[in-house]
Structure 1
Amino acid sequence: MSRADVVVIGLGFVGVPLAAAAARAGFQVCGVDAAAEKLSHLAESAGAQGSQNPELRTLLTTGQLELRRRGALPDADVYCISVPTPMRADGRIDTAHLLDAAEAVGKAMRKGALVLVHSTCAPGSLEQQVIPLIARKSRLLPGIDFHIAHAPERIDPARGTPTADLPRIVAGLTPQCTKAATTFLRSAFARVVPVSSIRTAEFVKTFENTFRLVNISLANELAEVCRGHDVDPVEVIEAAATKPYGFLPHHPGIGAGGGCIPVVTEFFRASARQRGVIPPMVEAALAVNAAMPGRTVELIRDRLARSWKLSLSRCKVLVVGVTYKPDVVDIRNSCAVQVINRLRVEAADVGYYDPRIPQLRMERGRALRSTARLDATGFDIAVILTKHTTVDYSALRTGALPVLDCSSGTPVPWQDHD
């Protein structure tokens, strides 16, 4: 495909449904990604049972959508950037993929094109980094020679809500940019919500995720307090959720992970500090979240000693579920993986089962492989960290093996659920 209506750069959980939505709307779409193995997997799994994009095979077969490995980008009317902006080991945001994509777009685009950045961005980064880079590489004036706008991604890979049904926030560099971006998005999405500026759109995404982290951390603090009163925090939250106004339920767990909630909350903190503001509630929420894997191990250790007179040292532990949340194939910033690392520091002998993650690369380069099936034979205890809805846990109910379900934040012996 030497020319396309739309080019989507980055074919992850954001880019693939975006490309499919544009193709479904009638655009000729070219999706590009730097990872050859990802492209092969997409082509092989397109239309498979359980796929989040069941129409992908049809779009590929008809030629409405083409997938290719990153190289020089084809000429297009619209360029959509949907690459990741992960958090580095030092806690800073890695913008390398975003800037690389921006440079490629700048080299390929022509006058009159529309550039839409869907990647999650720290407030100010588009105006300070991305737009100047595209302008420099294209030698075109932003807002005059080409349109540029930000439409931060909204997607929940576990729920399967059709991307086209989710309201999309958008803002352009100029009113004309906003109009061009809104017109394009309305052809593929049910509802488009323009806001006043690119920085406002960046803050919308930042606040959405910060709101969730603050409330998840509050739920984890509730669980900590409830433990001291022998009260079930989940029962408290479910009862509170019957209030028809003013309450939105969030649930405790082993900590919020993934590529959005903890990362984007760091955007909020960094943006505040840039203006000399220390946000105490956000600081506290981040601290609570960061402490959860360690606190989970403490609770497991305590429960083992009290209920079964076992020590973590040299205990053979089967961890069940390692993704950052249920029903995804993603271990980015997974608190379950952090729990495994901490269990190993405690000298526990750890194995794991997760049908979605066949292998884990642990600290110091060691690889762990998932057991072929949920079988706790040879282990002293099983610990459920991430509870996939597609896993049959009944195998853990057989025999006298102790089982702790930590998925709701409090290690509960399995028999306590009966």
Structure 2
Amino acid sequence: MKHDRFQDLWDKLKNKSAQVGIIGLGYVGLPLAVTAAKKGMPVTGFDIDPSKIDALHKSDSYIEAVASEDLKSLLDAGTVAWTADFSQLSGMDVIVICVPTPLTEHRDPDLSFVTETTEVIAKHIKAGAMVVLESTTYPGTTAEVLTPILAKSGHVPGEEIFVGFSPEREDPGNKHFRTATIPKIVAGDGEAAGKLVTLFYENVVDAVVPVSTTQTAEAVKITENIFRAVNIALVNELKVIFDAMGIDVWEVIDGAGTKPFGFMPFYPGPGLGGHCIPIDPFYLTWKAREYELSTRFIELAGEINSNMPNYVVARLRETLDRELGIGLSRARVLIIGIAYKKNVSDMRESPSVRLMSLLNQAGSKVAFHDPHVPAIPKMREYPEFLGWQSLPFDDIRAEDFDAILISTDHDEVNYEALVNLGIPVIDTRNAIARRQLSEKNVTKA
């Protein structure tokens, strides 16, 4: 039986006839669905959000990394289908889970999206199918959480169904790497699953990197994100120290970056954003407690990065007091860039929204301009900002604001025009100096 189920799926993967179901059509799932379909595999995308399904049926992409033209051509060719009917999972040979893995308010892992999705899969999965988790999580999740749930289907994991893990490595806004060109870490819960998950992704991406266990693959992704979180925290701390000394941290980093070995530049900012870097390291912190171990580096980095919005607001307060003699309670502040990262619309964990909240609490009148975010969407936090609209750039006037706070440095913004307004600019991204514009009214923060 083991050989028959394995061989049947192997053959389907070899000739690309395996039906692929992708659950969660966000920043990870939708690019993966389109990439797999472009490589000749039949794909069905699943999502609980009916607005996403409606948009996809109209070939209307809501993610920058996916072109609406590609959605239309794939839909016309019958290569993709989109549905909110999860009973159709019974026809899938490969099911990939791409759902969120947030933190609770106490910074514990919230695996509810993963577990609820896996419970649904267990009700519908057929013998001979494979399930792959792509959501970032702590080491042990696939083997200790997914596999037991899937065993409730009545199919024996490793013999009749197969389970794997392959962490997503999407980088929204990065034009140099796309889903197909980013090397893919893969692992299976058992030898047979490892071979199948490797073959599946070899059909989809250019380079596959198998590792020995799903725990190792989970640890790889967490390590990548901790590496960034810790190094960003380091330069954020250096920024605070060097600012106090009257030293430009950006110039320091540029200088250090000329060393051809032993240094890798990271850059400070107003705080961490995105789904991965602010959240994923704490999955390991939580898991480490099981082994009575502390993660001091990770927790310290989180503390530093989480405090950066407060530091930026303090610099804004100092500037307003020095330049205009007013406090935050009377200030009118325009935030440039509300997305968490330049040149994307992704709002997940955006420090810009935290800045808005702090200023709002201080009594400031706050507005924002973002060419990628016409209105603030629903978020897990800050419901008070739902629907706030971006101020059109042409409507930005000096008499309406006391200060401009650059939080996200989108390339489409006319920074020269902002500087020419003649009001104080708080620049958290070195956007003005990088463009060699006048820094007369600019305070770096």
Q: What is the TM-score normalised by the length of structure 1?
A: 0.92
Change (3 A) 1:302 1:43: farther
Offset of residue 358 of structure 1: 2.8
Whether the 8 Å CA contact 1:329–1:356 is kept in 2: the answer is yes
Residue deviations 1:128-187, cap 9 Å, x none? Answer: 222111111x11111111111100101101113221111111111111110011011111
Runs of at least 5 residues in structure 2 that lack an aligned partner in the other structure: 1-16
Could you tell me whether the CA contact under 8 Å between 1:253 and 1:409 is conserved in 2?
Answer: no
Does the aligned pair in 1 maintain the 2:334–2:367 contact within 8 Å?
yes
Q: Is the 8 A contact 1:149 1:170 kept in 2?
A: yes
**What corresponds to 2:238 in structure 1?**
222
Shift, 1:414, TM fit: 4.5
> Residues 144, 188 of structure 1: CA spacing in aligned structure 2 closer, same or farther, 3 A cutoff?
same
Q: What letter corresponds to residue 16 of structure 1 in structure 2?
A: L
**Which residue is equivalent to 1:369?**
389
Matched residue, 2:426:
404
**Residue 169 (structure 2) pairs with residue 154 (structure 1):** yes
In structure 2, how many angstroms separate the alpha carbons of the residues matched to 1:255 and 1:374?
28
Q: Which runs of 5+ in 1 are unaligned?
A: none
Measured against aligned partners, the alpha-carbon deviations of 1:45-96 in whole angstroms (never above 9, x if no partner) come to 5579965345332111111111112431341211111111122333222222
**1: CA distance between counterparts of 2:346 and 2:29?**
15
Residue in 2 that maps onto 1:340: 356
Matched, 1:18 2:37: no
Using the alignment, how far apart are the partners of 1:330 and 1:220 within structure 2?
A: 22
- Once residues 374 and 406 of structure 1 are traced to their aligned partners in structure 2, the CA distance between those partners, rounded to angstroms, is 23
Question: What is aligned with 2:128?
Answer: 112
Q: Which moved more, 1:142-151 or 1:396-405?
A: 396-405
Distance in 2 between the 1:295 and 1:239 partners? Answer: 24
Deviates more, 1:316-325 or 1:207-216: 316-325
Q: Please state if 1:63 is matched with 2:78.
A: yes
SS of residue paired to 1:271: helix
Superposed, which structure 2 residues align to 1:199-214 within 5 Å?
A: 199-214=215-230
- The number of aligned residues is 415
Distance 1:164 1:295, change over 3 A: same
- Alignment identity in percent? 35
Q: Is this contact kept in 2: 1:47–1:57, CA < 8 A? A: no
Distance in 2 separating the partners of 1:410 and 1:307 = 19
Whole-Å Cα distance in 2 between the matches of residues 364 and 112 of structure 1?
44
1:76 is matched with which residue? 92
Name the CA shift for 1:46/1:344 in 2 (closer, same or farther; >3 Å).
closer
Partners of 1:97 and 1:255 lie apart in 2 by: 26
When structure 1 is superposed on structure 2, of 203-212 and 375-384 the one drifting more is 375-384
- Within a 5 Å distance, the mapping from 1:180-199 to structure 2 comes to 180-199=196-215
* d(CA) in 2 for partners of 1:83, 1:66: 18
Distance change >3 Å, CA 45–CA 356, structure 1 → 2: farther
Contact 1:209–1:265 (8 Å) recurs in 2: yes
Q: CA deviation at 1:27?
A: 1.0
Secondary structure of residue in 2 paired with 1:261: coil
| 2:156 equivalent among 105, 127, 141 | 141
Q: Does the residue aligned with 2:306 lie in a helix, a strand or coil?
A: helix
Q: Which residue of 2 aligns with 1:349?
A: 365
C-alpha distance in structure 1 between counterparts of 2:63 and 2:306, whole Å: 36
Deviation at residue 286 of structure 1 after TM alignment: 0.8
Change (3 A) 1:311 1:282: same
Q: 2:49 aligns with which of 28, 32, 35?
A: 35
Q: Which amino acid aligns with 1:66?
A: A
| CA deviation map 1:274-322 (0-9, x unaligned) | 2111122112101101111111111111122223333211211111111
**Per-residue Cα deviation, 1:32-54 (whole angstroms, up to 9, x for no partner):** 11111122334445579965345
The RMSD of aligned alpha carbons is 2.5
